Amino acid sequence: MPSPAATLSIVATPIGNLDDLSPRARDVLAVADVIAAEDTRHSRRLTSHLGIATPLISLHEHNEGARIEQILERLAAGERVALISDAGTPLISDPGYALVAAVRAAGHAVVAVPGPCAAIAALSVAGLPTDRFVFEGFLPSKPGARRARLDALLDEPRTLVCYESSHRIAATAADLAERFGERRMVLARELTKLHEQSVALAAAELPAWLAADDNRRRGEFVLVVAGAPERERSAQEISLDALLAELVPLAGTKKAATIAARLTGTARNAAYQRALELVG
């Protein structure tokens, strides 16, 4: 069913295979008064292919602020507005967050027209835990910042999902290999497209796999990395637990955490969080 008037529809579009566009998405785009697209030239190829004549306006990271007022005016006039990105689900590593927030604040309806998303597609075929995962979008482009981000994720227990471009994939693979070593991962490339490919291997093996064939470094990439295994607790953590176990029944969680933090050198917030975990 097409969305009612004065509605902003967040419409997912194909990430490669045009047959993945849902009939509902096609209908919503066809009846919209305007489509806000990340790149109108790119999206016009899609709408032309579908025989959709709806006007397009650009909305990208450099003009989103200026476009918001225009779109709010259209919604106030009772128009239907659709938001699409170049591919996949809008707002997932793409502009749109500020627009959606402003539209909601103005009291207009926002509806999702769900469909393809590269991160979810890759996660679904990776064979790694999917009950809990963390999406990092694109890792930083500068080497130092990228390595710092990966270092911060080393102890993350949830499955890690991120995007990468063709001109940085080799450098990112080297950083992953150095930091994650034998951690299992999956690289998915060109999802739903003609040259779609996915491979499961250890992070340490990824640079050599990419180097073996120039074609493997082409296209758009999703990297799915297994979460950190549960580590053994340190002697400090064990002594913290022992102290908390004795102190909490006598002094309560807050006071016990303060005393235990001082005696073990643990941060007070960390000690308090651990006290809550033990009590719970």
Alpha carbons 140 and 137: distance in angstroms, whole number = 9
Alpha-carbon distance 56 to 33, whole Å? 9
Separation CA 48–CA 227 (nearest Å) = 43
pLDDT of residue 115 exceeding 90, the answer is yes
Range list of H helices, 106-234? 118-126, 143-152, 169-180, 206-211
Q: Which of 89, 116, 143 delimits the end of a domain?
A: 116
The residues, ordered by sequence, that sit 6+ positions from 279 with a Cβ below 8 Å of its Cβ are: 248, 253
**Could you read off the pLDDT of 52-81 as tens digits, one per residue?**
999 999 999 999 999 999 999 999 999 999
The span from the CA of 17 to the CA of 26, in Å, is: 14
Decide if pLDDT at 264 tops 90: no
- Residue 241: pLDDT above 80? yes
Q: Give the sheet arrangement for strand 80-84, strand by strand.
A: 56-58, 34-37, 80-84, 7-11, 109-113
245 within a domain of the structure (yes/no): yes
Q: How confident is the model at residue 3 (pLDDT cuts 50, 70, 90)?
A: low
| pLDDT over 70 percentage in the chain | 96
**Judgement on whether residues 202 and 250 belong to the same structural domain of the protein:** no
Residue 134, domain member (yes or no): yes
Which single residue is written with the structure tokens 């590269």?
118
List the single range of 11-25, 77-91, 246-260 with lowest mean pLDDT. 246-260
Residue 161 belongs to some domain of the structure: yes
Residue 228 to residues 181, 231, 232, 267, Cα–Cα distance (Å): 11, 8, 12, 23
The answer on 130 and 195 residing in a single domain is: yes
**Against a cut of 0.95, is the pTM above it?**
no
Mean confidence (pLDDT) of the chain: 93
CATH code, 48 = 3.40.1010.10
Distance (Å, rounded) from C-alpha 153 to C-alpha 200?
A: 20
> In Å, how far are 88, 113, 115 from 120, measured between CA atoms?
10, 16, 10
Tell me the C-alpha distance between 20 and 88, whole Å. Answer: 10
Residues 209 and 247 in one domain: no
Q: Which domain holds residue 210?
A: 125-225
Are 241 and 270 within 8 A, CB to CB? no
Lowest mean pLDDT among 41-50, 184-193, 241-250: 241-250
Assigned domain for 72 exists: yes
Q: Residue 226: is its pLDDT beyond 90?
A: yes
> Do 164 and 108 belong to one domain?
no
Count of H-run helices and E-run strands, the chain: 11, 10
* Number of domains observed in the structure of the chain: 3
- Which of 116, 134, 154 terminates a domain? The answer is 116
